[in-house]
Structure 1
Amino acid sequence: MTTFHSTRSTTDSLTSKQAIRQGIAADGGLFVTDALGETRVDVAQLVGKSYQDIAVTVLGALLPDFSEAELRECVEAAYGPQWGDGAITPLKPLGEDWVLELFHGPTSAFKDVALQILPRFMARTAPADGGADEKIMIVTATSGDTGKAALAGFADAPGTGITVFYPQGKVSQVQELQMTTQTGSNVTVCAVEGNFDDAQSAVKRIFGDRDLAARLAGDAHVRLSSANSINVGRLVPQVVYYFSAYVQLVERGAIALGDEVEFCVPTGNFGDILAGYYAKLLGLPVKHLIVASDRNNVLFEFLTTGTYNRQRPFFQTISPSMDILISSNLERMLYYMSDKDSRLISMLMNDLNQWGAYEIPDEMLARIRHVFGCGWADEDQVRESIRDCWERNRYVIDPHTACGYFVLRQMPRDPSVPRVLLSTASPYKFPRVVNESLGFEATGTDFACMDVLARETGTTAPAALRGLENAAVRFDDVVAIDGMAGVVERAAHAL
């Protein structure tokens, strides 16, 4: 039986369903399984299959205590008519490279891939203590996209509630409206005074608050869980699109089965690229995974020096979903790269908590760098990349994808190895920045900017984004960091 335990200890022995329901380990670590990679996925069997069929196969290897019938039900519900493209994550040519479009879901961001299926996973888990009336309260901090994608997934889902916190003034107008206009009787949205890392750290403290957990379990029959990629059920659906991209390359004749591929991934919290590492461990022929950062380049520094240091200036950039200094999912990669040494991981995370930094052994860094490359783009380079991509390819990219585009352009190319850039959000989520970068009019509201972008490029704004202009704002609360637990407790009692 495949079991899950914390990255920081091996005392837990949970099924994947239990790990998904719990979200984060009691010691603050993230759930991993030592069986990862024992089951390999035969890529040849996936060629010619739909995204949904690929998902059932890949998820079956990662979540073995879900039956095939359960996975099929989850997949069919998650990847249906709410997607704007039947391929779910279509692959498009981009000059000599390829771009994997991950933004055709209901909220126009890559997080839909995981957050459309996570509530379905949750619905098939059972309360740990057998209390049939136990409800789940999802608590999530967002740097922009996770919040709306989680809200869209969990709104009115039976047996659940969701509370989302976002940093006040540090998401785009469209991102904020996506959250504050969310419908649903079980949703709460609140702005926080501080940045994403402040909010994320506070959420982790809320999960670790035993007194709060006891009160919620006793008074409201509520257990807290997470929809951030710290939840293994949020992470593993992202593995599927790496297999899908590879299969699409085979079907196009761009590669033969067994050929290696490189992926370039804009990432802040390391979850999106960690999914690529999981795909590699499952047998996908991945040569390199390239981490693309914005000006908050803590991951670039780590991958080049072996020192992770969050004691550094925080920059608010035009790629807000990547404005992160504490990359939570890095912990899972470190666990596997350290030969599953939970004592070492516990020490490193303790150092990060206590001193704001940690340093990994040289041989471990060498092992990591064999798989992971890195680069970063500043604000000017992001804008130049949006313009260059349009002028060169007549293809519009958002500021996050532009970080990856810039990094790819800087990297030496091996003509025998195809490169796939993951495009994480629709450019219509950031129409003002895109227009400014392309030299189009960028005055007025974000909605006016959307209309200009559509007119100038011949593309179409996703209806759900354009329709936000007239949506009613339901949530306008702002709290200090120390007020977040109170918001969660009130929301839990209202379930």
Structure 2
Amino acid sequence: MQYKSTRGQATNYTFEKAVLAGLSPDGGLFIPQSIPQAPADFLTKWANLSFQELALEVLSLYIDSSEIPREDLKDLVDRSYATFRHSDITPLHKIKDGLYILELFHGPTFAFKDVALQFVGNLFEYFLKRKNAGIENPADRHKITVVGATSGDTGSAAIYGLRNKKDLDVFIMFPTGRVSPIQEAQMTSVLDKNVHNISVGGTFDDCQDILKSLFANDDFMQKYNLGAVNSINWARILAQTVYYFHSYFSLLRSRNITPGSTEAQKIQITYSVPTGNFGDILAGYYAHQMGLPTSKLLVATNANDILYRFFCSGVCEKSVGEDGGVHETLSPAMDIVVSSNFERLLWYLARDAAVEASVPEAEKDLKAGQIVDGWMQDLKQKGRFDTGAKVLAEAKRIFDAGHVSDEETCATIREYILPKDASQAPYVMDPHTAVGVTAANAVVPQQDSQHVVISLSTAHPAKFSEAVERALKDEPSINFAEFFKTVSPKEFEGLMTAERRVTVIPRADQALVIEVIAKELQH
């Protein structure tokens, strides 16, 4: 399997080269040369596999054994998910008939990013060990400087996946005051020498812009051998496709339905995904394209609804306002305007619906890259681009969208903690999960044994206790302090008062970030 850029200029990259590069030299993102199909008999062959066994099968379709032998890949997978607290890794939890929660928060940092970043951290270590085999002189060893930007969970998940890795330093930028207190504490309380946090005065989009500019800076990138952990890194998306397959088989097993049977074929599944940088739902798109039976992928947004507006109109347009249109909400990991991974989907939409039929087949990939490059330049320079009716129609074949206010988010949290139906057990969800459930209830009103919603739960509710408390503030029957003691994991005890290490810069300035990185790497 080879990899290419969404901008069309970089081609024939190996998996290792694409993963270590992160961002393509032409400014695009790496995608596989073609999307592999799951085996013809996967519905029966994969039906009873564990998460780890399923991960091995899915990843093997994208990673040649000549690059990573199957036994080595199995070891990487097993080590990556040995850190999870639940035996199913990503368990499926039934809320009521037709509504299931896919719990992705059972990793070391209690967030869905762990599913990918535990694997990515071990990948980096694997590649470094291979490159440095037999090299003892520290000055001659191959090193990687990983740089990431986070709106909350990517940072801690990356840090926990990369801490104390030999020949590797990790720098995480986060917007000052715009991540939850628990998220910030998780990042800044990790004191390993190779971990560095940078608090940036600005928004997540500002941090992401700096990240992209660093990867576009050839001199800086070559000097420090940059690596990426944001979802611009293809390995992040690949690892996340696994839990879509796993959830499908878990659903059928829970209902004693045989995969591939007439009964199974009648089930229409909508995956509702709280969406910020578009990586989580993009993994669902790849799973669908590989053959996973999926009715719809629902893009659930908060007040930062640029993606919702795109799927309504085909126009991608930044809103106008303070901080470039970024609204601060109760679901901060989604407080993003420009979603990096959306470019990957745009390439497929351009290839299928925007490239003229008269273009020779051999030239269509390049033409799609040129179209995407034009769209992204328009977004950067004009604040908008219009893909047209054909592209919108192609997108809506699989995608739907909804947007949710903070008030609706709180109402949903409260509704499921205090269900009115006596047959429904209480369930505590974080605000991002609540966005996904709220959007699903609005867009898929009929939920039953055949019309099923699987809503992705991206974080443990204890990471966003302020939002849960706000949702319950008018409920006199609940003593929140006592209530949350039963919800909060023991791993969070003492976290808020733990020693911390972080560098604060007053504004989003690439030069200031470069200065911090250079200074830390001199030590």
TM-score, reference length from structure 1: 0.92
Q: Corresponding residue for 1:343?
A: 370
After TM superposition, the structure 1 stretch with the greater mean CA deviation from structure 2, 103-112 or 484-493, is: 484-493
In the aligned structure 1, how far is the partner of 2:45 from the partner of 2:302? 37
1:487 matched residue in structure 2: 516
In the TM superposition, 1:239-388 aligns within 5 A as: 239-253=241-255, 255-258=257-260, 259=265, 260-312=268-320, 313-339=325-351, 340=365, 341-388=368-415
Counterpart check, 1:422 vs 2:460: no
How big is the shift at 1:480? 2.3
| Superposed CA offset, 1:147-181 (max 9, x none) | 00000100011221100000001111111111111
Aligned to 2:25: 26
The structure-2 alpha-carbon separation of the partners of 1:56 and 1:358, relative to structure 1 and needing over 3 Å to count, comes to same
Aligned length: 477
On the 8 A contact 1:399/1:430 being kept in 2, the answer is yes
Q: What fraction of aligned residue pairs are identical, expressed as a percent?
A: 34
Q: 1:450 to 1:430 in 2, by over 3 A?
A: farther
Matched to 2:26, the amino acid is D
Code of the residue aligned with 1:346 in structure 2: it is: D
> Structure 1 pair 450/204, CA: closer, same or farther in 2 (3 Å)?
farther
Q: Is 1:83 matched with 2:84?
A: yes
**In structure 1, distance between residues paired with 2:131 and 2:96:** 55
Match of 2:431 among 399, 409, 412: 399
Q: In the alignment, which residue of structure 2 is the partner of 1:238?
A: 240
Aligned-partner Cα distance in 2 for 1:9–1:488: 31
Cα displacement (A) at 1:243: 0.7
The corresponding residue for 1:57 is: 57
Partner of 2:358: none
Listed as ranges, the matches of 1:441-480 within 5 Å are 451-455=481-485, 459-480=486-507
Per-residue displacement from partner, 1:73-95 (whole Å, max 9, x unpaired)?
11111101x21211110001011
**Separation (CA, whole Å) in 2 of partners of 1:254 and 1:437:** 37
- Rounded Cα–Cα distance in structure 2 between residues aligned with 1:6 and 1:450: 49
Instruction: Write the letter of the residue equivalent to 1:51.
Output: F
Unaligned segments of structure 1, at least 5 residues: 217-221, 443-448
Amino acid at match of 1:167: P
- Cα distance in structure 2, aligned partners of 1:338 and 1:428: 41
The counterpart of 1:229, out of the listed 228, 231, 241, is 231
- The equivalent of 2:215 in structure 1 is 207
Asked if the contact 1:18/1:128 (under 8 Å) is kept, the reply is no
Inter-partner Cα distance in structure 2 for 1:73 and 1:140: 26
- How far residue 284 of structure 1 moved from its aligned partner, in angstroms, is 0.7
Partner of residue 173 from structure 2, selected from 158, 165, 181: 165
Aligned residue identity for 2:227: S
Is the contact between residue 298 and residue 309 of structure 1 (CA under 8 Å) also seen in structure 2? yes
One-letter code aligned to 1:425: A
SS in 1 for 2:295: strand
413 and 67 in structure 1: CA distance in 2 versus 1, 3 angstrom threshold: farther
Structure 1 residues 288, 487: CA separation in 2 closer, same or farther (over 3 Å shift)? same
Q: Secondary structure at the match of 1:474?
A: coil
CA deviations 1:302-323 (Å, max 9, x no partner) are: 1101111124322111100000
SS of alignment partner, residue 413 of structure 1: coil
- What's the secondary structure of 1:251's corresponding residue? helix
The structural deviation recorded for 1:211 is: 2.5
Matched to 1:233, the amino acid is A
Q: 5 Å matches for 1:3-18?
A: 3-18=2-17
Once residues 272 and 487 of structure 2 are traced to their aligned partners in structure 1, the CA distance between those partners, rounded to angstroms, is 26
- Structure 1, 45-54 or 97-106: larger mean CA deviation: 45-54
Q: Is the 8 A contact 1:18 1:125 kept in 2?
A: no
Residue 40 of structure 1 deviates from its aligned partner by: 4.2
Q: Is the 1:450–1:466 Cα contact (8 Å) retained in structure 2? A: no
1:434 match: 468
Conserved 8 A contact 2:9-2:26: no
Which AA in structure 2 matches 1:139? V
Q: 2:360: which partner in 1?
A: none
Closer/same/farther in 2, CA of residues 290 and 255 from structure 1, 3 Å limit? farther
Deviates more, 1:252-261 or 1:120-129: 120-129
In structure 2, the partner of 1:135 is 143
Inter-CA distance 53–330: structure 2 relative to 1 (3 Å threshold): same
Q: Report the counterpart of residue 108 of structure 1 in structure 2.
A: 110
Deviations, residues 453-495 of structure 1 (Å, cap 9, x unaligned): 335xxx442222233033211225234222112222223334x
Q: Verify: 1:410 aligned to 2:438, yes or no.
A: no
Q: Is the 8 A contact 2:277 2:336 kept in 1?
A: yes
Question: CA offsets per residue over residues 419-468 of structure 1, 9 Å max, x none?
Answer: 100000000001121022123799xxxxxx9853335xxx4422222330
CA distance, structure 2, for counterparts of residue 158 and residue 413 of structure 1: 52
In 2, the alpha carbon distance for the partners of 1:63 and 1:352 equals: 33
After TM superposition, give the deviation of residue 119 of structure 1 in Å: 1.3
Contact 1:142 1:165 (C-alpha < 8 Å) held by counterparts: yes
Matches within 5 A, 1:87-102: 87-96=88-97, 97-102=99-104
Q: Do 2:191 and 2:500's aligned partners in 1 also have CA atoms closer than 8 Å?
A: no
Work out the CA distance in 2 between the residues paired with 1:305 and 1:252.
38
- Higher mean C-alpha deviation, range 205-214 or range 34-43: 34-43
Alpha-carbon distance in structure 2 between the residues aligned to 1:7 and 1:450: 48
The amino acid that maps onto 1:223 is N
SS at match of 2:232: coil
- TM-fit CA distance, 1:255: 4.9
The Cα shift of 1:354 comes to 1.6
> CA separation in 2, counterparts of 1:436 and 1:39?
44
Q: What's the RMSD between the two structures over aligned residues?
A: 2.1
Name the CA distance, whole Å, in 2 between partners of 1:460 and 1:128. 43
- TM-aligned CA deviation for residue 246 of structure 1: 0.6
Q: CA–CA distance in 1 between the matches of 2:506 and 2:279? A: 27
Q: Which amino acid aligns with 2:53?
A: D
* CA–CA separation in structure 2 for the residues paired with 1:95 and 1:427: 19
Q: CA contact under 8 A between 1:115 and 1:150: conserved in structure 2?
A: yes
Q: Say if 2:288 and 2:294, in contact at 8 Å, map to a contact too.
A: yes
Alpha carbons of structure 1 residues 127 and 181: separation in structure 2 relative to 1, 3 Å = closer
